[in-house]
Each structure stands twice: as structure tokens, then as C-alpha cells.
Amino acid sequence: MFQAKHAMLPVATHDEFAREEFCSTLRQVFTSELWPANREVYDHQLPKYVAQHGREPASFREARELMNETFYWRGTQLVGRAAQEMLWDTVGESVERQLDTLNAKAAKPPRNPLGSLRLNPRLKIPKYIESVDIHVMPGNFHTELCAGDVFAGALYDRGVYVFSFGGLGPYNAGLGTTMSGYIKSTFPAFKPRRILDIGCGPGFTTTVFVDAFPGAEVHALDIGAPQVRYGHLRAESLGKRVHFSQQDGTQTDYPDGHFDLVYSCLVTHECPVPVIKGIFRECHRLLKPGGMMIHDGATPKPKDPGTDLMSSYFGHNINEPFSVGMTELDYRKAFGEAGFADDKFFEGVCPPAYLKEQLKFVSYVGSFKK
């Protein structure tokens, strides 16, 4: 399966494509084979640890000490980190080579657009975004290399496809497909007429909602101008009507009660807890009575130190410093603080429509505004 073409998708040369394919395969080997085997190594090392200490590791730190004894643990993490850095560098080189062409396309929006684009050059980029490049993606989601730039949008659209070895589907739609499918199957009577995607990136979590809820007015925001510039033209090219704007999800310019559905896909784990709570408060303000807010749920922190260690890869190796805070967040309490009634809280799991071999399930949390 190849990534589906659209007007803004970077076009790789023969050798750029070949190097991207190498990064994908290395990521796949790491994810499907190398990393999971660490559990076997852990279980193999346990008796030695017990013999030395008279008990099993009692904390994350002790579990890590046990594993640090092995070359396998240290080596596999290094390979995972290397694959992560390589994928952005490889895709980045390809995008940078054709950036003038991509930016020129972005400078000429379609004459009769289906959707719209609003930018805010005065928007202050929060410190938590400027201080760490999430996923070790250099420049993060917001950096602009020049006026009218789409670099970070193109990098993320192509990079996520390489990262997931195509596992999100030809349009990277897997996250949105799974979430919209969950909403429709769990709440079949819920028919949103105006929808907002918070932290939309290049819009691959957004365009799928246009198809999932035909007739709904779909909006999407991101703090990064290159994301929404790119996302707007990507959506137009795919014939999807989306209204993009550059905004901070904790403080938007939409009126109170403007939306029936506000959602985010894989965004909250990239935010510090005060920002996550700010997003929940803003969702409450933006929703009409009866409107729904839904986000990815965190996997609860495992009690067994070994299992905890095995689920620590992203947080400890590829710049997701806030994901630990999210796993410890009391959603029910946080929703209550944001104004949602306790009896409207919901959470659930469903089978993933993406990366099926790696993910057992995906979890969601949400609430309805009374």
C-alpha cells in the first residue's frame, strides 16, 4: 500500500523513497520484533535479580536497573531512537528539497475553495511547545522556515506514514476512522451538525469526519501555521470541506456553544496537565447543551514495574515528556473541574482500525454537556 497522493503530498525521488522505505522497515522491525522481546529478556533476568536481592523489582527504577544489565535492552532502545531520528531527517531532506514548490502551491489557494483558512500571525506560541520537539521531530509542529511555509505540515503528513509503516492507511486516516466509528457505534442517535478537531496537524484526523458525518460543518485548529496551511490545501485537494484556523486549543475565538462535537486525536498526551485541563474547559465553553467532547484515554499506569517499564518507550526515548502526567490524570475529576456533570462521563475501548498488530485496543474518554 502506497500513501495516497494529493496536491500537497511531497513527491520523493527514487532514492529518497528508498531511504524512507528503509526507515519504515526499521521502525516495523523495532516495533513488532525488537521491543516486544524485551519482555522475554525481563522474565529471563528476573531469577538472577531475585537471587541477588531476595525479591522482584519493586519500582520502575529497579526494573530498569535489572534491564540495564542487558545489552539487548540498551541496544533496542538505541535502535528505536535512531529509527525515529532517521525518519524525520530522511523525510525532512526530501521535503526541504521541494519546499519552494510546495510553498508556491500554498501561496495559490483554489479559486472556489470548499473550506477556508484563517491564520493568526500574532498568536503566541506557548513555552511548552517551543521547549520540546515532540516525537524528536525537529522544529515541532509550529516552526516556520519562511513566510507562507508548509514544511512542518508536509513533514508530519509524510513522516507519520513512514513512522507507522503505512499502518494508519493510505490517507493516514486510521485515528479518525477509529474515533468516529466509536462515536457512531456507541452513540448511534448522536448527529453532530458542527464539529471541531483540536490539534488537527495536517488534517488527516479531520477529513475523515467529513465523511463520517455527512452534512456536518467541520472545523479544525492547530497552533502551527504550517499545519493548517498544508491541511487546508490537502483537504481541498481531496474534495473535503473543512474550515481550518491557527489557534490555541485552550483559548479559541469561536463563540460559546458553537459546536455539537469537539474532539482531539493523539493530542492530549503531548500536552502538560494544566494545558489538558485548559482544553477540557474550552471544550465545555464551546459545546452546545447535549454536545459531546471526546479525547483519547490514557492507558492506566501498570502496577507491575516490569509492565510499566515495557510501556515506557515513547515517554523516555522520543520526547514525549508529558505522557506520564496524562497516564496519572483523573479524567472524571478533571472533567468535573471543567464544568462537565459527573453522570455524563463516559469511557470505553474499541479495537483499533490501525496498527492492529501493535495495539490491543484504543481507549476514549468523553462527556456530554448538560
Interface positions with other proteins (CB under 8 A)? 1-2, 13-15, 17-19, 21-23, 25-26, 28-29, 34, 37, 40-41, 44, 70-72, 75-76, 78-79, 81-83, 85-86, 90
C-beta of 42 vs 230, nearer to other proteins = 42
Closest CA to 152 of 170, 174, 171, 129: 129
Question: Rounded to the nearest whole angstrom, what is the least distance from the CB of residue 1 to other proteins in the complex?
Answer: 8
Question: Rounded to the nearest whole angstrom, what is the least distance from the CB of residue 32 to other proteins in the complex?
Answer: 10
Closest CA to 107 of 149, 49, 45, 64: 149
Contact 246, 118 (CB under 8 A): yes
Q: How many CB atoms lie within 10 A of CB 19?
A: 19
Contact 150, 8 (CB under 8 A): yes
CA 3 vs CA 165, 242, 363: distances in Å: 10, 21, 26
What would the DSSP string read from start to end of 120-173?
-TTPPPPHHHHS--GGG-TTTTT--SSTT--HHHHHHHHHHHHHTTTTT-TTS-
Sheet with 242-246, edge to edge strand ranges: 116-118, 242-246, 217-222, 194-198, 259-263, 287-296, 362-368, 346-350
Question: Rounded to the nearest whole angstrom, what is the least distance from the CB of residue 330 to other proteins in the complex?
Answer: 38
Rg (CA), the chain: 21
Closest CA to 228 of 251, 199, 249: 199
CA 367 vs CA 139, 153, 201, 282, 330: distances in Å: 34, 30, 24, 13, 14
Q: CA-CA distance, 226 to 353, in Å (whole number)?
A: 28
| C-alpha grid cell, residue 370 | 448538560
Question: Rounded to the nearest whole angstrom, what is the least distance from the CB of residue 15 to other proteins in the complex?
Answer: 5
Question: Rounded to the nearest whole angstrom, what is the least distance from the CB of residue 290 to other proteins in the complex?
Answer: 46
C-beta of 3 vs 205, nearer to other proteins = 3
Question: Rounded to the nearest whole angstrom, what is the least distance from the CB of residue 22 to other proteins in the complex?
Answer: 4
C-beta of 76 vs 103, nearer to other proteins = 76
C-beta of 171 vs 230, nearer to other proteins = 171
Q: Is 267 helix (H, G, I), strand (E, B) or coil?
A: coil
Question: Rounded to the nearest whole angstrom, what is the least distance from the CB of residue 46 to other proteins in the complex?
Answer: 13
Q: Is 112 helix (H, G, I), strand (E, B) or coil?
A: coil
C-beta of 78 vs 341, nearer to other proteins = 78
Question: Rounded to the nearest whole angstrom, what is the least distance from the CB of residue 90 to other proteins in the complex?
Answer: 7
